[in-house]
Amino acid sequence: MNNRLVAALILFTVQALAAQNPDSLRVGIHQLKSEQYRWEDLKLVQGVGAFVHGKACAVKGDLKGAIVEFQKGVKKSKAAAYYNIGLTYFYMHNYPVAIQYFKKAERIKPDALSRSYRQTAARKLKEKPNAMKK
């Protein structure tokens, strides 16, 4: 499915829910917008089709397929591939593995984006036990 079709289906569902509860419309629209931008931080390297295929899988919700595709890109651009894999694990809430991949990416090519996501994943990992106690 292309992005427009997915967005239209989500919007239709949101509108149907809004008929039952007007507050759900506001929540649904926010979720739709966040899904559209969720994968904007992926790094796409020109000439590496695996990254394009990985992003397409991620946008469709096939996160395991995205990881497989990004792993294919390791030969062409290790730092970008490790970062993309880390980002995918981050969105899967698998923070320990995400941190490992962000660290690998930083060792090869340090950048603020990898460091920021690594720090956020570490913070979320620390907060997780506290959230479970409540």
Mean per-residue pLDDT of the chain: 80
Q: Which residue has the tokens 């394009």?
A: 52
* Rounded Cα gap, residues 65 and 56, in angstroms: 9
Same domain, 108 and 58: yes
Whether residue 93 has pLDDT greater than 90: yes
Whether residue 118 has pLDDT greater than 70: yes
Whether residue 18 has pLDDT greater than 80: no
Same domain, 77 and 33: no
Cβ neighbors of 50 (< 8 A, separation 6 or more) are 69, 70, 71, 72, 73, 76, 81
Same domain, 11 and 71: no
Mean pLDDT of all residues in 40-63: 89
The whole domain housing 15 covers: 1-37
- Which CATH number characterizes residue 121's domain? 1.25.40.10
What confidence score (pLDDT) does residue 59 get?
87
- Domain count of the chain? 2
Global pTM?
0.70
